[in-house]
Amino acid sequence: MLCGNHNADFPTMTDYRPVFDQNFGKISAERLPELLRAMPKAELHMHIEGSLEPELIFALAQRNGVAIPYASVEELRRAYAFTNLQSFLDIYYAGASVLLKEQDFYDMAWAYLERAAADNVVRTEMFFDPQTHTARGVPMETVVNGLHRACADAQPKLGVSAALILCFLRHLSEEEAFETLEQALPFRDKFIGVGLDSSEVGHPPEKFARVFARCRELGFHLVAHAGEEGPPAYVWSALDVLKVERVDHGVQSAKDPALMKRLAQDRIPLTVCPLSNLKLCVFPDLAQHNLGALLDAGLVATVNSDDPAYFGGYMNQNFTQTFAATGLDVQQAWQLAANSFEGSFIDAAAKRAYVDRLNAVFASF
Ligand SMILES: Nc1ncnc2[nH]cnc12
Ligand SMILES: [Zn+2]
């Protein structure tokens, strides 16, 4: 079922672990960019509001009669010079203010899904931030129905399997997260999990212990941003207090060897977002990104776009720019794509089928 909340027993992350075929090692390094673009992949960390391109912001502002404090698309794009997460979030929430009607949410999601299909994304688990919209008086129903309709159209029209993950904003209170959950429960069959995003430092996972416990009882998949700018302690508490199945970002985990061991042993996927980390100054340049070190440590690291309209790249640009800057190889390309399927919230048979497709593409090179 598309976008379904599978309340039955979830397959665990460790139920399927694909293995690299050494024959793929013979593929020429020159063909790596082409291979990175062609390989089927899953995207596990993308905020749908972060896919809103400046052109669409202007078009929706006009359609809805919403004023925006920028004279042109170019002026808005010029404002995308971020120094840290908060400097980005301020603009990101302002951009989302043009979304009012169900069709706006559909159009935004559809534009992303078409772009994802062009990058050979075959599975996507998209975050949405309902509180950004309900706080402006947009009903939960409008948000969820618009996004879900685009997800439901994606498989038959684009060959992309799409699902939604509802994120709580961590700069708001746990009480507000509970209210959001209550508002969303009538639509529980339209999202598969919950996450935690927004300003990280000063808002540790523990703040949301009770609401995550409730979501766990309800059978939702659980993820949380942790270790993007925040310390390894936040990743520990995402795992041990919130009991998340994946960690979003998690790159700061490399500072804590015991945590790295835990993540590797439990095969907890990290949804890493290289261009986001670059644009938000988490790493000074892409060449210094620790994606290769995470893979070398045996972690289930994946590549994702986070907020592609703001950070200068969708999936394939994240792959090609990171590989060009860090010198990752063919085996690591395969590993990242295989990890994306292993880390996704689909059943073991679907994971196997996607990895078969991945292997067929590698075999054709
Ligand atoms: N990179 C990010 N970190 C935290 N919250 C976000 N919301 C959108 N993008 C985010
Ligand atoms: Zn994110």
Out of 52, 89, 281, give the residue to mutate to test ligand 1, the one with the largest number of ligand atoms within 8 Å of its CB: 89
49 noted as active-site residue: no
Coil vs helix vs strand at 161: strand
- Low-confidence stretches of the chain (pLDDT < 50) are 1-12
Ligand 1: residues whose CB is within 6 Å? 47, 50, 85, 92, 197-198, 225, 228, 276, 306-307
Residue pLDDT, tens place only, 239-291: 999 999 999 999 999 999 999 999 999 999 999 999 999 999 999 999 999 99
Q: How far apart, in whole angstroms, are the C-alpha atoms of residue 178 and residue 337?
A: 35
Specify the pLDDT at position 16: 76
| Span from the CA of 273 to the centroid of ligand 2 (angstroms) | 8
336-339 own/partner pairs: CB under 8 Å, 24+ apart? 336/41, 336/295, 336/301, 336/302, 336/303, 337/39, 337/40, 337/41, 337/42, 338/18, 338/20, 339/269, 339/300, 339/301, 339/302
Catalytic residue among 53, 228, 229, 342: 228
For 106, 133, 143, 170, the CA distances from 103, given in Å and listed in that order, are 5, 14, 9, 27
Q: What is the ipTM of this complex?
A: 0.98
SS3 content of the chain, % helix, strand, coil (to 5): 55, 15, 30
Specify the pLDDT at position 6: 41
- Nearest ligand to residue 276 Cα: 1
Out of 234, 271, 307, give the residue to mutate to test ligand 1, the one with the largest number of ligand atoms within 8 Å of its CB: 307
Kind of pairing between the strands at 270-272 and 221-226: unpaired
| Span from the CA of 22 to the centroid of ligand 2 (angstroms) | 34
Superfamily of domain 42-364: Metal-dependent hydrolases (3.20.20.140)
Contacts of 300 (CB under 8 A, 6+ apart): 13, 263, 267, 268, 269, 270, 339, 342, 343
Q: How far apart, in whole angstroms, are the C-alpha atoms of residue 274 and residue 267?
A: 20
Specify the pLDDT at position 15: 65
Kind of pairing between the strands at 41-47 and 121-128: parallel
